[in-house]
Chains A and B, each alone.
Chain A
Amino acid sequence: MSKITDMTDTHNWSGQRLVTADELLFEAPREKHFMTGSEVLKEAVKRCTVDASVSYPITPQSEAAHLIGELWAEGYVGTYFRGENEFGVMSEVAGCAMAGARTITTTSGPGTLRAMENFAQWSGTRIPCQLILMARGINSPLTIQPDNLEVSYMLETGCQIWYAENVQELFDMSIAAFVVAEKPDVHVPIITVVDGFFVSHTREAVMLPADDIALFPYEPYKSPLPPIDSETPPGRFLRDPFVMKSNYISYATHASWQFEIRSAVERSRPYAEHFLDGLVHTTGSEDAEIAFVTCGTASHQAKEAERELMKLGIKSKVIKLRTIRPFPEEELITALEGVKHIFVPEFNVVGWLEKEVKKALYKKTEADIVGGPRVAGGMSMPAEAIIKEVMEKINPGKGA
């Protein structure tokens, strides 16, 4: 096992040379590999000087949690263990991060909901841990096929939420996520989402930097709250015990604290813009009157639909949202200039992204917003379904 005492000014405990996030993400030479999303996550964690990871067996959706365990056995991760269940593991992650560790875990689907209480608690304590959410279905009847409905439940937890489309984005995002979450003026947890199976189990070409370099370690003493390590005086001393005993203190505390957490998420924008090269990515025809607003693998399917529509002489474009919290409202409005029809294809039945888009665009666009098509776990989203939705809207009664 590795020892933190093996860390030097230039190398981490596993002997990797310490580099900046810019060098790791933008400057270091890369080589092509062919990997699944889970394997790529292992490669990302390997390059992140991770102190702690906790895992559990039922709903990690993929073998990613096993692979992080292998990294620990190989000496790349400081401490790693299997917890009892999702609620317990997210609690253990909280403990690890409170004690000053760069901490990561992964979950999906029903396990996310079982652990739900923890996510708001994470943001409330301003820990900068990272959750890789490999989305899958949550409804009965049981499914292990992808759905991203659990993201809807995560939206108001106070955590940052980023969404990766493919294995390359998963690799780059999960590295950048630590860096942004740990910025002293941000310092809130981050949830990096990918669509399970389509990304976690799919082997794709991915460009990776060498594995003998890694991110500089987490510096817990730059946290806005002192780490729980008995090295510094307690950060807060409440004269009154807990806020519920006084309406005035309750108001004062929540008025400052809850808005501060959300402000911290907003303060992540410039960092995310830098490391993600913008909060939205647009492909297709710039002057199109039809736009797809998407995230995750729905973006991939929408791009396929865009190419097929072009063959029919119909111009369209795909606006992929890379961050959901913060929601890239201004970037979306800019990207939608001149658009008359907006489609929001989603992998869930409730249409949470459609609601987000409509809320952001309320009274700011005259375009029609169509929430669809939607598929609900257990299947892919065929480009034909997206094309059909478009044709029925722009060519009513005649279909695709």
Chain B
Amino acid sequence: MAIDIYKINPEFRDIMPQEIIDLEEKATWAQNQDKPRGIKELPQSKELLEEHSLCAGCPEAAALRYVLSALPKPEETIIVNSTGCTSLMFPHIALHTVHSLFGNQNAVATGIKRVLDWRFPDTEKDVVVLAGDGATVDIGLDYTLQSFFRQENITTICFDNEVYANTGGQESGATPKGQVFKMAPTGKKFDKVPMWKLATTSGCHYSINMTASAPKAVAKAVREAILVAREIGPTFLNIYTPCILEIGLSANEGLGEMKEQDKDRFESYKYISPEAEEFLAKCKEEGRL
């Protein structure tokens, strides 16, 4: 049995699709597992409904499952999202999620985290922002960076597909220079915003640029970033989850695209501040990683 964070109303249980019942019974909660939860449990567990609303083969759906499997304490985790393809998935998971406005996710997360720390001083409650590049790097850049400057104890994950995908494929700040998209009919005029570097110089204690091609690597980064955010300060993950629709790939080509980019625009970048490094070493010693 899962814990009480996600409960189907007993009156409606007999008409619920099996996968919703599975979401209640087979999610990998930290408190009801004999062994530490993690990416290895994905084949047997249910993190996200199969009938989610993203395109077939969308790398974001896989990436979200990796993220959810890696949360250190899902029953004490709030995910704040923003308008976009990512937000369409959140009704299909079993966690507390907040969708507010477009681009204000780090500001809303700030308020939530500050109040949870005030109301529950003796409980570790994690606040994780998960939004696309339009919300993180473009419209919401101010609020993202300001939360880093203020040293908010939140983890920000950007599912970078290099385009405003959900609104029909417009250029974003994360689009590579020269790419032709709607609103960039002759190609984008400036370079892709190196958000992972901005995060480093803006006060994040852990900043990564990666693709979602390797599930274990994503899960490790998520776990480390959340633990660092809980104890030290803001952390940031930039994860390439290409929009196969907008760049003209088939449903089975997303993984290949990510692997290609592992050595190009998304060549591995990882920054860990000295105090975060020390903290993570301690976590490893204690078996928290």
Tell me if A96 and B111 are in contact (CB < 8 A).
yes
Query: CA of A259 to CA of B13 in the docked complex: distance in angstroms?
Result: 29
Tell me if A4 and B118 are in contact (CB < 8 A).
yes
Query: CA of A89 to CA of B77 in the docked complex: distance in angstroms?
Result: 23
Q: Is A237 an interface residue (CB 8 A)?
A: yes
Complex interface residues of chain A between 90 and 140 (CB less than 8 A to chain B): 91-101, 103, 117-118, 121, 125
Q: Is A382 an interface residue (CB 8 A)?
A: no
Q: Point out the residues of chain B lying under 8 angstroms from A54, CB to CB.
A: 111
Tell me if B115 and A51 are in contact (CB < 8 A).
yes
Query: CA of A239 to CA of B93 in the docked complex: distance in angstroms?
Result: 10
Tell me if B91 and A99 are in contact (CB < 8 A).
no
Tell me if B88 and A99 are in contact (CB < 8 A).
no
Q: Is B274 an interface residue (CB 8 A)?
A: no
Q: Point out the residues of chain A lying under 8 angstroms from B6, CB to CB.
A: 233-234, 237
Query: CA of A118 to CA of B118 in the docked complex: distance in angstroms?
Result: 23
* In-complex Cβ contact of B115 among A79, A85, A89, A245 (8 A): A79
Tell me if B92 and A241 are in contact (CB < 8 A).
yes
Q: Point out the residues of chain A lying under 8 angstroms from B52, CB to CB.
A: 241
Of B100-108, B192-200, B218-226, B229-237, which stretch is located at the interface? Answer: B100-108
Tell me if B111 and A99 are in contact (CB < 8 A).
yes
Tell me if A79 and B107 are in contact (CB < 8 A).
no
* In-complex Cβ contact of B108 among A85, A95, A100, A239 (8 A): A95
Given A54-B111, A95-B107, A95-B115, is A88 in contact with B146 using a C-beta cutoff of 8 Å? Answer: yes
Q: Is B181 an interface residue (CB 8 A)?
A: no
Tell me if B101 and A117 are in contact (CB < 8 A).
yes
Tell me if A95 and B96 are in contact (CB < 8 A).
no
Tell me if A91 and B100 are in contact (CB < 8 A).
yes
Q: Point out the residues of chain A lying under 8 angstroms from B87, CB to CB.
A: 241-242
Query: CA of A121 to CA of B98 in the docked complex: distance in angstroms?
Result: 12
Tell me if A85 and B121 are in contact (CB < 8 A).
no
Q: Is B280 an interface residue (CB 8 A)?
A: no
Q: Is A238 an interface residue (CB 8 A)?
A: yes
Query: CA of A103 to CA of B114 in the docked complex: distance in angstroms?
Result: 12
Most chain A beta carbons < 10 A, residue from B7, B119, B150: B119
Q: Point out the residues of chain A lying under 8 angstroms from B121, CB to CB.
A: 3-5
Chain A's nearest CB lies how many Å from the CB of B227? Answer: 17
| B78-97 contact mask (Cβ, 8 Å, vs A): 1 or 0 | 10100000011111101111
Tell me if B91 and A4 are in contact (CB < 8 A).
no
Query: CA of A121 to CA of B91 in the docked complex: distance in angstroms?
Result: 18
Tell me if B108 and A229 are in contact (CB < 8 A).
no
Given A230-B75, A233-B5, is A91 in contact with B107 using a C-beta cutoff of 8 Å? Answer: yes
Q: Is B4 an interface residue (CB 8 A)?
A: yes
Query: CA of A100 to CA of B112 in the docked complex: distance in angstroms?
Result: 9
Query: CA of A98 to CA of B100 in the docked complex: distance in angstroms?
Result: 11
Q: Is B143 an interface residue (CB 8 A)?
A: yes
Chain A's nearest CB lies how many Å from the CB of B117? Answer: 8
Q: Point out the residues of chain B lying under 8 angstroms from A233, CB to CB.
A: 4-7
Q: Point out the residues of chain B lying under 8 angstroms from A240, CB to CB.
A: 53, 91
* In-complex Cβ contact of A234 among B77, B96, B118, B119 (8 A): B96
Given A5-B121, A91-B104, A241-B92, is A229 in contact with B116 using a C-beta cutoff of 8 Å? Answer: yes
Q: Is A271 an interface residue (CB 8 A)?
A: no
Tell me if B4 and A52 are in contact (CB < 8 A).
no
Query: CA of A96 to CA of B107 in the docked complex: distance in angstroms?
Result: 10
Tell me if B119 and A99 are in contact (CB < 8 A).
yes
* In-complex Cβ contact of A241 among B53, B78, B115 (8 A): B53
* In-complex Cβ contact of A78 among B4, B7, B118, B143 (8 A): B118
Q: Is B50 an interface residue (CB 8 A)?
A: no
- A245 (CB) vs chain B CBs: closest residue: B53
Complex interface residues of chain B between 1 and 46 (CB less than 8 A to chain A): 4-7
Given A228-B78, A230-B77, is A96 in contact with B112 using a C-beta cutoff of 8 Å? Answer: yes
Q: Is A81 an interface residue (CB 8 A)?
A: yes
Q: Is A83 an interface residue (CB 8 A)?
A: yes
Complex interface residues of chain A between 214 and 253 (CB less than 8 A to chain B): 228-230, 232-234, 237-242, 245
| B100-139 contact mask (Cβ, 8 Å, vs A): 1 or 0 | 1100100111111111111111100100000000000000
Chain B's nearest CB lies how many Å from the CB of A225? Answer: 11
Q: Point out the residues of chain B lying under 8 angstroms from A103, CB to CB.
A: 111
Q: Is A366 an interface residue (CB 8 A)?
A: no
* In-complex Cβ contact of B116 among A99, A237, A239, A241 (8 A): A99
Tell me if A99 and B115 are in contact (CB < 8 A).
yes
Given A229-B125, A234-B5, is A91 in contact with B115 using a C-beta cutoff of 8 Å? Answer: no
Q: Point out the residues of chain B lying under 8 angstroms from A83, CB to CB.
A: 107, 110, 146
- CB-based closest 6 A-B pairs: A95-B111, A91-B107, A91-B104, A99-B115, A238-B91, A96-B111
Residues on A facing B (Cβ under 8 Å): 3-5, 51-52, 54, 78-79, 81, 83-85, 87-89, 91-101, 103, 117-118, 121, 125, 228-230, 232-234, 237-242, 245
| 20 CB < 8 A contacts A-B | A5-B121, A78-B115, A79-B117, A85-B142, A87-B104, A87-B143, A88-B146, A92-B111, A94-B100, A94-B104, A95-B98, A98-B98, A99-B115, A228-B96, A228-B98, A234-B96, A237-B6, A241-B52, A241-B87, A241-B88
Apart from A3-B121, A84-B107, A95-B108, list 11 A-B contacts with CB within 8 A.
A4-B118, A52-B118, A88-B107, A91-B101, A91-B111, A95-B98, A95-B114, A99-B78, A125-B100, A233-B6, A241-B92
